[in-house]
Structure 1
């Protein structure tokens, strides 16, 4: 599949780091499975992965976390 950002790169399965910021909280999640463009590095997450990331973010916000760094657990 071609990258929708750069229009020339091809997507390959890999792992990436996702950073979310909002509502006074910064969450960094390392080693997240994604499809990554071999040209520009843009990454694409599946709906399932996105849902899990948003759940992790909401849990961190409810704990009162200001900054949290997590490693993806498969």
Structure 2
């Protein structure tokens, strides 16, 4: 087994008594409910991030993700939502699949963790 990431020195599963952690990938889903007065109750886009590097339990499937990866996931989700709402034409990038129309209720943005670099730092868009 390869060396685990620095802040996930887990060998035994934290969730089940017999599992062992192995390197792999996982998928996370981030729903969005819009909260501003104008949009109250409408469903924003669901962001699905795929191919996330993680340690996975070989018994129960529990995923452990290191803090640096979590930070990157959070940036991808924020950037994808920002582009969806403000600059939908810039949401096209390698590793991004969009279902639905930006600005309309609902929709899905699929972002591949390994292949996607969204054209954001919000300061660079405008």
Deviation of the 1:25 alpha carbon: 3.3
Deviation of the 1:40 alpha carbon: 0.4
In 2, Cα distance between the equivalents of 1:33 and 1:25? 23
Deviations 1:1-34 (A, max 9, x none): 1111123210000112122223333111111110
Q: Which moved more, 1:63-72 or 1:48-57?
A: 63-72
- Residues 73, 113 of structure 2: 8 Å contact kept: no
SS at match of 1:73: coil
Deviating beyond 6 angstroms after TM superposition, the runs of 4 or more aligned structure 1 residues are: none
TM-score by length of 2: 0.53
Match of 1:18 in 2: 28
Choose between structure 1 and 2 for higher RCO, CA contacts under 8 A separated by at least 6 residues.
1
Structure with higher Rg: it is 2
Structure 1: where are the runs of 5+ without partners? none
Aligned residues: 74
TM-score by length of 1: 0.84
In 2, Cα distance between the equivalents of 1:7 and 1:61? 38
- Residues 23, 54 of structure 2: 8 Å contact kept: yes
Q: 2:110 aligns with which of 65, 69, 72?
A: 69
